[in-house]
Structure 1
């Protein structure tokens, strides 16, 4: 294979692997009566604390227009609440509720176990190398854009 063929093959393999891994993780998430986006928002709030609504989309790779809908759904389920910022009334935070924390404490270990199962075919060194290589390609793509 020449340089261009290797690049194209890398892209195709990465895309297919991502789709397979993501599909399996999402299938697991839906067993908890959450869609993958709802889970991503709750996971962000659970691990990182309150977040301004305007910044959530960028942190979980979601179009900003969809954030309001997802936050509304999670609020209806009692898993998060909106909180006005004390310093700037234009900013609203998403805050995980006790019920949301309880849910994440219940389901996150199982989610993490599923991810561990998916990557169990790789050694710790291979995982570290994979992370390094994907970051390298990702940062390069960012610079090129």
Structure 2
């Protein structure tokens, strides 16, 4: 039995969007892994690199990671000597994640190359198409959040 109508467009968009996300994510993940990191570790490092030290309790929400996983990721990054935990001087209940010198050097080397890699990966789209896609996907994401 064949389904027809406007819902076909919605389903097709969902499938194409899902496949495109998976292809891009897998491709970019391989690039990140070439630096000895997984995508979650890189996301934490990128957050700290661009936003400075962060309370451990807030990192998960900023990179879309379950709070229970943050401890595991931070432990791994600490073992690699890329970040360290520092107690907040104003509130002993809060611990911050801070890039070490080694972590900062890695990100200073890696991030420009990562940005260039993303630019090359998405180069099939013009700047105008990237802006349109960004606007459309933001609109879609905000709509879905309202439904929840």
Fold shared, TM-score > 0.5 on shorter chain: yes
CA distance in 1, matches of 2:48, 2:61: 14
Displacement of 1:137: 0.2
Is 2:86 aligned against 1:115? no
Aligned ranges for residues 72-83 of structure 1 at < 5 Å?
72-83=75-86
- Secondary structure of the 2:96 match is strand
Q: Deviations over 1:5-25 (max 9, x none)?
A: 111111111110000000000
TM-score normalised by the chain length of structure 1 = 0.97
TM value normalised by structure 2: 0.95
Is 1:90 equivalent to 2:103 in the alignment?
no
User: How far apart are the structure 2 equivalents of 1:73 and 1:67?
Assistant: 10
Structure possessing the higher radius of gyration over alpha carbons: 2
| Whole-Å separation in 2 of the counterparts to 1:9 and 1:73 | 39
Say yes or no: does 1:35 pair with 2:49.
no
Does residue 53 in structure 1 map to residue 56 in structure 2?
yes
Q: Which runs of 5+ in 1 are unaligned?
A: none
Secondary structure of the 1:94 match is strand
Query: Structure 1: which 4+ aligned runs deviate by more than 2 Å?
Result: none
* 2:78 aligned counterpart, secondary structure: helix
Secondary structure at the residue paired with 1:90? coil
RMSD over aligned Cα, in angstroms?
A: 0.9
Matched pairs, number: 145
SS in structure 1 of the partner of residue 122 of structure 2? helix
Which blocks of at least 5 consecutive residues in structure 2 are unaligned? none
Aligned to 2:136: 133
